[in-house]
Amino acid sequence: MNFRSESEVKKPLTLFAAAGLTDIVLLLLIFFLLTSSFVTNFGIRIDIPRAETAAVTDQHFVNVSITRDGSFYVMGDPVPRANVAASIREQHQRHPGATLVVRADKNAIIDDAVHVMNIGKALNMNMMMATERASR
């Protein structure tokens, strides 16, 4: 059903004005950027008490680095595998409450890391393995 006469037939729109569309996209972008900051993090909320004074703690770490080729470094100094236990024991005697931090290359042999952890366990040290945060 065409109610127009033959002389009133309109041609289809050949030009498209993108200015109105860019305004709408920009407004939507601003809207989503503003509202995304209002999203709450669902977690355990704890109100930590504040202290008037702070006690200075001198926590010491014994850093043991293991490279992919099996080299050991205790506190940044290269140490042969045979002397790793003596070097860690010496650091432990200097700082009895020290924590053993194992920094092993991801391609290092696991036996090397276990060797260092066994030394820490024999010395009854607290131990931790240093890792990097995974990228998202």
pLDDT single digits (tens) 34-82: 877 665 555 545 445 566 665 555 568 888 988 888 889 998 889 999 9
The predicted structure's pLDDT at residue 58: 53
Residue pLDDT, tens place only, 112-131: 889 999 999 999 988 888 77
Cβ-Cβ contacts under 8 Å for 73 (sequence gap 6 or more) = 63, 64, 65, 66, 67, 79
pTM for the whole structure = 0.55
First-last CA distance in the chain = 58
* H-only helix segments in the chain: 19-36, 84-94, 110-122
Task: Give the mean model confidence (pLDDT) for residues 76-98.
Answer: 90
* Better-scored residue on pLDDT, 53 or 96: 96
pLDDT at 44: 46
- For the chain, domains (ranges, CATH) are 61-129 (3.30.420.270)
